[in-house]
Amino acid sequence: MSDRVLRAVSQSGALRTQIGSDIFSRFVETFEQSKPLIAQTLRELSSRFEGLPPVPLNETLLEALEQAVRASQKGLDGSSAELRDRLSDFIERVANRQTTESVVSRVESLRGQLREAQATYYQDDTSILSDYEFDRTMDLLEAEEEYFESIRRPDSPTQEVGGSRSALFDPVEHAERMLSLDNVFSIDELTEWAAKTSAAAGRTPAWLCELKIDGLAISLRYELGRLTSAATRGDGRTGEDVTVNALRVAGIPEHLSGTDHPTLVEVRGEVFIPTRGFAELNELQAQLQERAVAAARERWESRPEATRGPFDEQREAASAARRFPAFANPRNAASGGLRQQLDKKSGLEREAGDARVATLQLYVHGIGAWPRPPVAAQSEIYDLLAGWGLPVSPHSKVCTSIEEVAAFVAHHGEHRHDVEHEIDGVVVKVDELTLHDELGATSRAPRWAIAYKYPPEEVHTRLLDVAVGVGRTGRATPYGVMEPVLVAGSVVRQATLHNQDVVRAKGVLIGDTVVLRKAGDVIPEILGPVVELRDGTETEFVMPSHCPECGTTLRAMKEGDIDLRCPNAQSCPAQVRGRVEHIGSRGALDIEALGEVTAAALTQPRVPAVPPLITEARLFDLTLDELVPIEVVVRDAETGEPRTDDDGEPVARKPFQKIRLDYPPEAEGMTAQERRKAGYRKDHPVVEPSAQAETLIDELEAAKTKELWRQLVSLNIRHVGPVAARALADWFGSLQAIEAASEEELAQVEGVGPTIAAAVTEWLAVDWHQQILDQWRAAGVRFATPDHPGPGAAQQDGVLTGLTVVVTGSMEHFTRDGAKDAIIAAGGKAAGSVSKKTDFVVVGPGAGSKETKARDLGLSILDEAGFERLLDGGPDAVADLVGGESDS
Ligand SMILES: [Zn+2]
């Protein structure tokens, strides 16, 4: 894209003569449509040319501008900051204000960052730069070196394959050099590369696309079919000998199967940890932490009582967390797994090490040191390798056009997490082997292949603070407040840290640079600190001893609970706010006007000083008059922190009032003519209830007579969600009957059980809960199902009595809840998940794993029409549809 644009510009004679705001305005025009962000930045920058003398525009400068634009396009993460820097830099250059020294020091700093990143990565299996940052830094350095030829150095990281060796392993010289791949970050760049490659090849070749596995490159040397060494890439010429561990990796055979093996061949591949294995590995690390603490306790107990002090559980836990930390990502875990010296480990460490090796897997993707393989295409090499018993990725595809390649890239970009391992991009190779020789390689990478890199899902950012929020149940949850960062397509500022033990286990300090991960729709997670970047100013998070909302001392509710809670359930404003919001939620009374902001306005307003709701007891007594004056501070949805405007003042709103302008009261009763004569205008403000206030009052009124199960959910009884509430409501028919039942009677109801029964009894025994019930009843809330025949009666009859039905997928005539209600009304049980005990599974369009499972279990499956027959006539009515097996 930019290539073509710049060439067009350079061919325009007028522009060859000078550079200044006019050339920038032309660029602005060119980019306006396709790259609005670049256009906007250029527009802003062009003003800086005013007052500067015109500078002759020659080829070198034009090239520099091109470099600047190209480099910044690569680095654009949706923010224009980097682009601005690059272009500012460029302007400095054309204005002859830059010095050679500034360029040299900039380049040296880039080289230093890259070298340090390589060193820590290869020697310590950690990284101070994220992969994406590393590639980007490398790109910037390349751009600089291309621009200033004089500063190129043969020892620059751009001239090396990347990485080096650790002294722990014996060196292995690769028979053929192991190269890296060059990267592209957009389809435009990929297309550009393909065009260049096609031009060099003299025709459009077939493209072999494969997933770029986020793992560790390995070269397996087979001589006459026997593995003689396995080596990491190292610097590309010499790698590390990891044969001992490699022989234990699934998929690395010591002897190749088949016959006609070449005298020597190096099989190249990627060692990785599959996603599922990674999760198991981290579970094991957590278990090992526990076992290490238990072992320490045993040792302590075996010492004579007189000689031992108290057992320091915290210290032991911290030490165990250091010995068996959670792995931040599968790639680092794989790298460390392959490059460990197991024979030097024992006990729990050995167990951890063995498990890591056992989790490793291999996919092969190329060969080296075999000048004339008996095939013509790279894709055929994979068939050959598979025939030798080597594992080949099932995800590759040969494409005949670059559009097809782009579709492959787009598809796997959307389905990144649907494959068995982590991927960070797509590798595109020229399929024909003869072209590999013709196209050759640069000092670092082959010209016949390129890596398309997806936007990062793992980034580095700074942990500015760890704050603590209090939720509906009083749980105090620490969460990280971070420098905002773009990850996987959205800006992330906060991530929960769950509890103080998690903060400690992750080992993060306030001020740390942390690794933040957000994959697709997944909730952002702080993986851990980048310890190498600490400067000593970082501080440890201390869990507060008091509730940040009401000042009550936090405590664990039960012995052994990790979570700390604010015990002031009745009037802690954060808890009341959470409960009131819950009452309005869809699974409870479904009051649309009672959302997050309204809940905050009613419980934590700025005005009046005494909130309308100190507990939820008065909810149904609210009046329009008391709503109108309420003023609320707008808070962040996640953290509860007040939002501030540009002056740092909290942003406040009055959600329940609107101001209408009218004639002043004195003008009342006057005719239009009289008002005009007296000079009255519509300039007198009249405060009135807003539409939201009216809606809230109306919806609260309507909510009073909603179904009993909704009323039960809205009471915020622990464990009583919609499912348990329906079970209670269906059986008992009224809150009065529930109150009259013993805990045992409650527990016996299908779908209730002892835990819920205990929670209900416990809740009912609390004085201030009774006040809520009294006040709600007095306000007209109906805690009963009209015409319910009494406890237990509902279960007695109905065509589905004793049967369990699961509905999955969408229905034409039922909503999800409607289908449930229909099943329950017919005496059946509406279950959420499929099991052997399920009698019928109703399947509509969009049904997923539940349908698969139902088929696997051989259950009776119905469509919507069948479902309607089932509701009408019971199992007999659908016997012909399901083969009469439903009775069993
Ligand atoms: Zn509190």
Q: How far is the CA of 770 from the centre of ligand 1 (A)?
A: 21
Fold of 171-273+360-453: D-amino Acid Aminotransferase; Chain A, domain 1 (3.30.470)
If we measure between CA atoms, which residue out of 858, 867, 881, 859 comes closest to residue 809? 867
Confidence of residue 741 (pLDDT cuts 50, 70, 90): very high
Residue 707 tokens, joined: 């179904």
Confidence of residue 568 (pLDDT cuts 50, 70, 90): very high
The answer to whether 746 and 761 are in contact (CB under 8 A) is yes
Q: Which of 117-121, 160-164, 195-199, 650-654 has the lowest mean pLDDT?
A: 160-164
Q: How far is the CA of 571 from the centre of ligand 1 (A)?
A: 8
The answer to whether 376 and 433 are in contact (CB under 8 A) is yes
Q: What is the pTM of this model?
A: 0.52
209 carries a ligand binding annotation: no
Confidence of residue 415 (pLDDT cuts 50, 70, 90): confident
Please tell me which residue, 159 or 685, carries the higher pLDDT value. Answer: 685
Q: Which of 34-48, 420-434, 583-597 has the lowest mean pLDDT?
A: 34-48
Enumerate the β-bridge partners of residue 355: none
608-633, pLDDT tens digit by residue? 999 999 999 999 999 999 999 999 98
Alpha-carbon Rg for the chain, nearest whole angstrom, is 34
Residues ≥6 apart with Cβ < 8 Å to 431: 205, 206, 207, 208, 377, 378, 379, 398
The answer to whether 514 and 462 are in contact (CB under 8 A) is yes
Q: How far is the CA of 143 from the centre of ligand 1 (A)?
A: 56
Determine the average pLDDT of the residues in 595-620: 92
Residue 702 tokens, joined: 């309507």
70 carries a ligand binding annotation: no
How confident is the model at residue 696, as a pLDDT?
A: 96
How confident is the model at residue 26, as a pLDDT?
A: 57
Dihedral sign for Cα 238, 240, 244, 249, please: negative
133 carries a ligand binding annotation: yes
CATH architecture label of 704-783: Orthogonal Bundle (1.10)
Query: SS3 of 73, please?
Result: helix
CATH architecture label of 101-159: Orthogonal Bundle (1.10)
Q: How far is the CA of 578 from the centre of ligand 1 (A)?
A: 12
Please tell me which residue, 36 or 128, carries the higher pLDDT value. Answer: 128
How confident is the model at residue 68, as a pLDDT?
A: 57
429 carries a ligand binding annotation: yes
Nearest-angstrom CA–CA distance, 861 and 876? 14
Whether the predicted pLDDT of 871 surpasses 70: yes
Q: How far is the CA of 639 from the centre of ligand 1 (A)?
A: 15
Q: How far is the CA of 295 from the centre of ligand 1 (A)?
A: 38
Surface-to-core class of residue 378, CB atoms within 10 Å of its CB (0-12 exposed, 13-18 middle, 19+ buried): buried
Confidence of residue 75 (pLDDT cuts 50, 70, 90): very low
453 carries a ligand binding annotation: yes
399 carries a ligand binding annotation: no
Whole-angstrom CA distances from 689 to 28, 103, 591, 652 are 49, 64, 18, 17
809-844, pLDDT tens digit by residue? 888 888 887 888 888 778 788 888 888 889 999 998
Q: How far is the CA of 591 from the centre of ligand 1 (A)?
A: 26
How confident is the model at residue 14, as a pLDDT?
A: 29
How confident is the model at residue 310, as a pLDDT?
A: 86
- Percent of the chain residues topping a pLDDT of 70: 82
If we measure between CA atoms, which residue out of 107, 114, 118 comes closest to residue 141? 107
Q: How many CA atoms does the CB half-sphere of 61 hold within 13 Å?
A: 21
Confidence of residue 156 (pLDDT cuts 50, 70, 90): confident
- The one-letter amino acid code at 612 reads P
Residue 292 tokens, joined: 């290490």
Q: Which residues are catalytic?
A: 212
48 carries a ligand binding annotation: no
The answer to whether 518 and 457 are in contact (CB under 8 A) is yes
How confident is the model at residue 7, as a pLDDT?
A: 42
How confident is the model at residue 694, as a pLDDT?
A: 95
Q: Cis check for the bond before 608: say yes or no (omega within 30 of 0).
A: yes
Determine the average pLDDT of the residues in 76-85: 49
Fold of 797-882: Rossmann fold (3.40.50)
Residues ≥6 apart with Cβ < 8 Å to 522: none
How confident is the model at residue 783, as a pLDDT?
A: 96
Nearest-angstrom CA–CA distance, 215 and 335? 7
Residue 577 neighbours by CB distance under 10 Å: 25
Query: SS3 of 807, please?
Result: strand
Determine the average pLDDT of the residues in 800-816: 86
How confident is the model at residue 13, as a pLDDT?
A: 30
Confidence of residue 55 (pLDDT cuts 50, 70, 90): very low
The answer to whether 864 and 842 are in contact (CB under 8 A) is yes
295-333, pLDDT tens digit by residue? 989 888 888 888 888 888 878 887 787 788 778 778 888
550 carries a ligand binding annotation: yes
Nearest-angstrom CA–CA distance, 247 and 229? 9
Determine the average pLDDT of the residues in 140-158: 68
Q: How far is the CA of 317 from the centre of ligand 1 (A)?
A: 29
346-375, pLDDT tens digit by residue? 888 889 999 999 999 999 998 988 888 888
Whole-angstrom CA distances from 684 to 25, 446, 666 are 50, 77, 11
Mean pLDDT of the chain: 82
Nearest-angstrom CA–CA distance, 132 and 453? 8
Fold of 573-655+690-701: DNA polymerase; domain 1 (1.10.150)
Q: Which of 63-77, 698-712, 793-807, 837-851 has the lowest mean pLDDT?
A: 63-77
